[in-house]
Chains A and B, each alone.
Chain A
């Protein structure tokens, strides 16, 4: 039976980027805030110091910092004709865990959505006609525009100290930046990272073929920086151990390096780690969240019973405001388990929770160059030269047979000894020949990538699995997802365009690998899983929205002055590093019930 704790003003589920930023703002305003985090506390010098952070086997292969499936997982199927099976080992996407969440081990690629992403449906219909989009494509407009969100993008980049070069400052195009980006109110807080030879060669080839390359916006800082909270970050050392790794140099933006030192100073803020929220409690009318029930997650441990860590007991933490700041999947699962909102029914198309799950459609072009020393091990998570010419609706889609696009370019994040062993086609997979080829090819090989969109469809959604349960006896989340023709055609197109640029780099070997269907959940792309809690103007098709009305579906009380933060965090999160914009306008994250005054 759950024991009731003294009430707090705010309870935050998950202490990652979203949770820590909201915790800071709300604690600063004087509210009593408690954050409940499923995973452990993580600290730079204790958990990923430079002395051993760069351990590929431990972190990249054995996934030391990531969620373990036996703590929480989900089931997967491509479509409703299949039976979803549990993911027993994460490989296609890697949910994070612990304080800092994915902010600890992300690459730091810090993008803004394009202005047209915010009103994607009405924009595409206006340009290409109302009948242009497939009938089962369920993208919709966001209830907020790029212009409204821009100050918060700016604020987030300043919080991070993001390194980059602006391409458009208040309408004035800037040389060296991205000419397609939405207008920015200011330059990036720190200058762009230095580029390696590979990125430089790509940029030359891109320019030669009529494209506009620019340095990828990076939250691996090019120089030391003090952010608006007074927290200091260090300079990136280009160590090439970024994604999947914590940064020991205080140089990668994360809750640890940007927010927590300031947040932990508030005596009215507390965090409870290794405590898993099992349910959001509702009052008897079902209309108002009254707090959460959580279970300490390490109940199997033999060590004594303590209040936070090891009791395995159920605690009820009452609060006036409940903020869902877990990763997209787990917010959706929690809503479904708690009976919040109407679950999505793919048959009827009714309901909102779980609707419009989307992902990302990446592809690659690998090259081997001649007589080059690329030093690919000198890298950061987000350096590289990119083009946006084929992103979103930046190009005319007339007659192409698809919509959407992506950014692409040279963004190789490292060349680590276990997982990066490029060899020419036809090389044996082991033995003396393989060793020789590895040694000869390493310095000359590189990989280009496209990060393409993933629009929403009627038959791509999240719901609760009818069979499989987690360790606490709760139904697992079930993911139903496959690529549609639109995405595969888009990927083929983007990959061809990238291959053309790659050819201009004069390679001795080139391998273009467009994304092929069906979607295989074991092949790693990114962890840019989005959707399930769509944000929109219409309660029939959205979970979160901006509205003055008290509606039955909106169960969480208003955040008052924290209102805009939710919008900013949801959209302003570096989309490419954590979540690919899902084009329908929805992003799981903070649920809010805001009143815009």
Chain B
């Protein structure tokens, strides 16, 4: 029998529960997060148009760079001001 030391951090994979889905988007504030990839704005412009037509208020946000996680302050601002958020990856 060989005894070895665990080379991992010993974390067991966990699943993250998604937030409840809103029944309607009418009257909600929806955040659109641009991760700053080229042409992501085109996709988000179209989404903003569609969401506004459906009666939502849209707030636009952008990460400083797509190569790093969104700053804590930005995540907090979105969580505070929005009912839901859509994050777009594009190239």
> Do A and B come together as binding partners?
no
- B-to-A contact residues, CB < 8 Å: none
A residues contacting B by CB (< 8 A) are: none
